[in-house]
Amino acid sequence: MIEQDMTLVADRLYRAGYTEPRLRQFWGGPIASALVRNNAAPAIHFCEKILDTVETQTSFDQHLAALAILFHFRREVSTEIVRAALGESAFDVAVDSGLIVTGSGDETKSGDEVSSTDAATPAEVADSGWVCAPFAVIPYDLPIGVPRGFRPGDENLYLVSDHGTLINPDVLDGDFVLGLGGAGRTLVSLTPREHVGVSADIGTGCGIQALLLARHSDRVIATDISERALHLTGLSAGLNGVTNIELRAGSMLQPLTEPVDLLVSNPPFVITPRTTVATFEYRDGGMTGDRLVRSLFTAIPDHLQPGGRSVCLGNWETTSAADSGPEGWVTDPGTSVLVIEREALDPIAYAETWIRDGGIPRASAEWNQATAAWMDDFETRSVSEVVFGYVIMGKSESASDRESDNDVPTIAGTATVAEAGQQSPTFKTRVRITSAIASNPQGLGQFVATNFALRSWLENATTEELADTVFTRSPDLVEHRHHVPGESDPSSITLEQGIGFGQVFDLDTALAGFVSVADGSLSLRQTAVALAQLLDVNPTALEDQLIAQVRQLVAAGAVLPGTEQPAE
């Protein structure tokens, strides 16, 4: 069977309406919300009722219900209806590729998860009364920012993975291959989508990152220690007609023998005690504490081309002995590091999260044993909290490729800012941003890339340069003035971002005045002089104050630098 044959299956799934938007419409909002809460029972009941009421349902609804029951919820379905839903050719390809196997022979369509039998030929499967799907095949509607338009229907992907806790009440197997979860979706949104030559997905899992990288990379290298994960990624690539992904077996960066332009990783970052607690290849690092992500982040600069970037997720520990994070681990002088901490959990809350994720029933003996093991493990290292966050790196261009380090990024576009950022000296910083992500019409990755470039520019900008620079406020900002009833002057002034991470900044009167006139016409120094006259304060002191405050707003993307004013 050639790889292109598998696109027949994807095409038939798409034509049958087996997509995220169509399924939400099919079973309605309450059932869709239940699925988000990991409750599949309402959707299964809905689909089974449609299949059981043949005389009142259209063939389209029946086919969609059958495909959802088969691939989403791993129930046995009548061979006849699946063959009708997929068509003869696509049905045979699905059997050949192992996406469909013969059922157990039990005509009970629902209940406990079914077990697949040995591989059979399409003819043997067709002759059986029931079929089932050993793997989940889940539709995924591409988010904003991911390139599309290559062929009809390519706004949708089909991801092959193992069936998880949505339909399985038991503790998962250690070699379980996770589908697209919350962390994977986060990495999708953070990844820059400019065209690159070679990209890499480290710890590819079900292959979602590699599949999306393939849309804007000449070549993609996907690595994983799990042969099962690589097999499922290969199936996903075949379904979606992707031919530029190279699968390499090995631990983390070990299979990566050449530098790349873009590297992404959602590694197995979960910190799990090295005891009798069950571990899972897809999530557990297999090392003490946060050692796996430490070793990964430290080694990444050696695998980036000059000007290359990386975007990774991770967990790391905070202890009384050390307060530094990944920005301190990466010692390569030519690599900038931006660490964005998004969540911090105390050790007990962290343990609860991942014990529950493994499918262990609350209050069971296994739950209590695992809790004790996690608590003892964190105590040995005096861990006070475990942080989840993003680690973005950028490697400097070679000296021969750089232009003047004095170039100031303009507000004309992100590309100009990014280029100037690459020319600036490197920086290493960590910020904690726990606000809810705002609306990002161009994708969160675009905002983060711009933020990274702005921080690079700030690293090289002197106090005098900042004073001579004009600034423009970001058009998404909203100012809020809070008044005590009966008072004319506000008790507080805040500035809220409508994009990025939706941060809120406290402003004093002077800074509020600066932001209000930041339209690219006056330099910071000119604005400080004008405000000092209005407020009757020393202009030099106000300028110094504004420079420090504006640095913070620029770093957050709230105000953007323009060009230097000509010397008088």
Secondary structure (H, E, C), 502-525: CCEEEECHHHHHHHHCCEEEEEHH
- What is the arithmetic mean of pLDDT over 68-78? 93
Distance CA 414, CA 422 (A): 12
Residue range 206-236, pLDDT digits in tens: 999 999 999 999 999 999 999 999 999 999 9
**Higher local confidence (pLDDT), 483 or 357:** 483
pLDDT at residue number 240: 94
- Amino acid (one-letter) located at 216: H
pLDDT at residue number 398: 66
DSSP assignment of 397-421 equals PPGGG---TT----SS-HHHHHHHH
> Does the pLDDT of residue 345 top 60, yes or no?
yes
Reported confidence tier of residue 525, pLDDT bands at 50, 70, 90: very high
Alpha-helical runs (H) found in 268-346: 291-299, 326-329
Strand partners, 267: none
Q: What is the CA radius of gyration of the chain?
A: 27
- pTM recorded for the entire structure: 0.87
Distance CA 232, CA 113 (A): 20
> Does the pLDDT of residue 29 top 70, yes or no?
yes
Distance CA 82, CA 479 (A): 56
- What is the arithmetic mean of pLDDT over 373-386? 92
Q: Measured on CA atoms in the order 361, 364, 370, 371, is the torsion positive or negative?
A: positive
> Does the pLDDT of residue 241 top 60, yes or no?
yes
> Does the pLDDT of residue 562 top 90, yes or no?
no
Distance CA 223, CA 265 (A): 10
pLDDT at residue number 402: 41
Of 195-209, 270-284, 345-359, 403-417, give the lowest mean pLDDT range.
Answer: 403-417
CB neighbours of residue 103 within 10 Å:
23
pLDDT at residue number 410: 39
Residue range 104-114, pLDDT digits in tens: 654 433 334 44
> Does the pLDDT of residue 320 top 90, yes or no?
no
Burial bucket for residue 131 (CB in 10 Å: 0-12, 13-18, 19+): buried
pLDDT at residue number 173: 63
> Does the pLDDT of residue 16 top 60, yes or no?
yes
E strand or H helix at 8: helix 7-15
pLDDT at residue number 172: 60
Joined together, the tokens standing for residue 173 give 């197997």
pLDDT at residue number 272: 87
Mean pLDDT in the chain?
86
- What is the arithmetic mean of pLDDT over 355-383? 88
> Does the pLDDT of residue 335 top 70, yes or no?
yes
Residue range 382-441, pLDDT digits in tens: 999 999 999 999 999 864 444 444 444 433 333 334 444 444 578 999 999 999 999 888
Residue range 172-207, pLDDT digits in tens: 666 778 889 889 999 999 999 999 999 999 999 999
Residue range 439-459, pLDDT digits in tens: 888 889 999 999 999 999 999
Reported confidence tier of residue 152, pLDDT bands at 50, 70, 90: confident
Residue range 174-183, pLDDT digits in tens: 677 888 988 9
pLDDT at residue number 254: 95
Distance CA 75, CA 83 (A): 16
- What is the arithmetic mean of pLDDT over 127-139? 89
pLDDT at residue number 121: 63
pLDDT at residue number 56: 59
- What is the arithmetic mean of pLDDT over 296-309? 96
> Does the pLDDT of residue 502 top 90, yes or no?
yes
Q: Please tell me whether residue 114 adopts helix, strand or coil conformation.
A: coil
The closest alpha carbon to 192, from 509, 421, 508, belongs to: 421
Reported confidence tier of residue 171, pLDDT bands at 50, 70, 90: low
Reported confidence tier of residue 149, pLDDT bands at 50, 70, 90: confident
Distance CA 246, CA 241 (A): 14
